[in-house]
């Protein structure tokens, strides 16, 4: 099994596909956001710096992010393969990551771009409802994802909630900004011959296509 980088705009299903791959193939799921949040709890200079950045909304330096990633990649569970979530986000990070992989003698693996029409991504965001108790996710705008009783969790009967930032204006900005900043990454990985574009329309069909890529 090789390593996987997902490039995916908001609501493309990256989290869903990462979970499916992790569970079926025992891959390590590495979220740089999780790494930073964990490191922010450390009572040292690095931890305090990260905590201040997260609190103020500033970006943590690439150097520290790479240090955390280096430590994580050396752990035993990454030897079977891993899914990298939230990194790299720009071309400078890509080049630094490739250098890191070379030093650690780790294969780059597959870069999978989850392609989703903006209109569908918009429905996924605006219709998303989450159970605050059990974490189940529904969507009141997509057939097959709606709760049986509107606004009520099918699993535990709790009232579903919506995130405040799940609105049209915020989504449009996030989607357009992501696609603009991601274009150089897509071009770079395409030139390397490691980029695979997978339409993310149906969860199960998308997973089957990803499986075919990583098994070839």
CATH number at residue 53: 3.40.50.300
Residue 216 has pLDDT above 80, yes or no: no
Mean pLDDT of 200-214: 93
Mean pLDDT of all residues in the chain?
91
Q: What is the number of structural domains in the chain?
A: 1
Mean pLDDT of 33-51: 93
Confirm whether 16 is domain-assigned.
yes
- Residue-level pLDDT at 57: 75
Confirm whether 95 is domain-assigned.
yes
% the chain with pLDDT above 90: 63
- Residue-level pLDDT at 69: 95
Q: What is the pLDDT of residues 51-92, one digit of tens each?
A: 998 888 788 899 999 999 999 999 999 999 999 988 898 889
Residue 19 has pLDDT above 80, yes or no: yes
The residues annotated as belonging to the active site are 14, 89, 128, 163, 174
Residue 50 has pLDDT above 80, yes or no: yes
Residue 10 has pLDDT above 80, yes or no: yes
- Residue-level pLDDT at 214: 92
Q: What is the pLDDT of residues 117-173, one digit of tens each?
A: 989 989 988 999 999 999 888 999 888 889 999 999 999 999 999 988 788 888 888
Res. 1 pLDDT band, cuts 50 70 90: low
- CA–CA distances in Å: residue 114 to residues 8, 39, 70, 202, 203: 5, 29, 26, 11, 11
Confirm whether 49 is domain-assigned.
yes
- Residue-level pLDDT at 95: 93
- Residue-level pLDDT at 112: 96
Confirm whether 60 is domain-assigned.
yes
Mean pLDDT of 193-216: 93
Residue 45 has pLDDT above 80, yes or no: yes
Mean pLDDT of 174-195: 89
Confirm whether 28 is domain-assigned.
yes
Confirm whether 75 is domain-assigned.
yes
Provide the domain limits for residue 11: 4-117+179-215
């Amino acid at each position: 099994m090789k390593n996987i980088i997902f490039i995916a705009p908001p609501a493309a299903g990256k989290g869903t596909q990462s979970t499916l791959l992790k569970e079926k193939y025992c891959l390590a799921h590495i979220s740089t956001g999780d790494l930073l949040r964990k490191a922010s709890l450390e009572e040292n200079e690095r931890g305090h710096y990260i905590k201040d950045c997260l609190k103020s909304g500033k970006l943590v330096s690439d150097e520290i992010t790479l240090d955390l990633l280096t430590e994580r990649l050396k752990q035993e569970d990454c030897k079977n393969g891993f899914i990298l979530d939230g990194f790299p986000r720009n071309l400078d990070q890509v080049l630094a990551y490739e250098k890191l992989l070379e030093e650690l003698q780790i294969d780059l693996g597959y870069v999978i771009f989850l392609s989703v029409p903006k209109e569908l991504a918009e429905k996924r965001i605006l219709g998303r409802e989450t159970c605050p108790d059990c974490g189940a996710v529904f969507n009141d705008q997509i057939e097959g994802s709606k709760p049986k009783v509107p606004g009520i969790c099918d699993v535990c009967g709790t009232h579903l909630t919506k995130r405040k930032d799940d609105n049209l204006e915020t989504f449009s900005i996030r989607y357009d900004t992501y696609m603009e900043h991601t274009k150089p990454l897509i071009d770079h990985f395409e030139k390397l011959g490691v980029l695979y574009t997978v339409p993310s329309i149906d969860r199960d069909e998308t997973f089957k296509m990803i499986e075919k890529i990583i098994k070839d």
